[in-house]
Amino acid sequence: MELKKKMIRLNQHFSTKEEAITAAGQLLVEDHCVQPEYVQSMIDRNNELSTYMGNFIAIPHGTDAGKQYIHKTGISVMQIPEGVEFGSAKDSKLVTIVFGIAGLNNEHLDVLSQIALFCSKLGNVAQLSDAQSEQEIINLLKEVGE
């Protein structure tokens, strides 16, 4: 999995999950992975079925209909030290790392699986959340996809 420094944002603050998803999607737009319409499909996808994966991680990606807006596979990472709520008042699902995914020809399914496996270990998530540089995050995720 190739992850670029410009696709990582550290120390982000968001009031809502929609803001976090939009920011992750905007990085995909800026890297020409997707058209701007894909960002709304990421929000729609999360509304249909939560992209919260557990262990303080969310992996928003577009709906099937949103696939038409994908130019190339891409991934963005938003580090949110204070967290953003992906759940509800009754069922909190705090997220500190958001992975925005665009997968051409279903390539995202493999990336999703690999990230979920890596983040199944809370120690890995803590390292991502505490990373002080984009390069540190890239180094941590190098084993994903190998």
Q: Judge contact between 128 and 140, C-beta under 8 A.
A: yes
Which one of 13, 61, 71, 108 is the catalytic residue?
A: 61
Beta strands in the chain (DSSP E): 8-9, 52-54, 57-58, 74-85, 94-102
- How would you class 46 by CB atoms within 10 Å of its CB: exposed for 0-12, middle for 13-18, buried for 19 or more? buried
Which residues face 102 on adjacent strands?
74
Backbone phi, psi, residue 97, to 5°: -135, 125
Cα separation of the two ends of the chain: 8
Task: Determine whether 32 is an active site residue.
Answer: no
Residues designated catalytic: 61
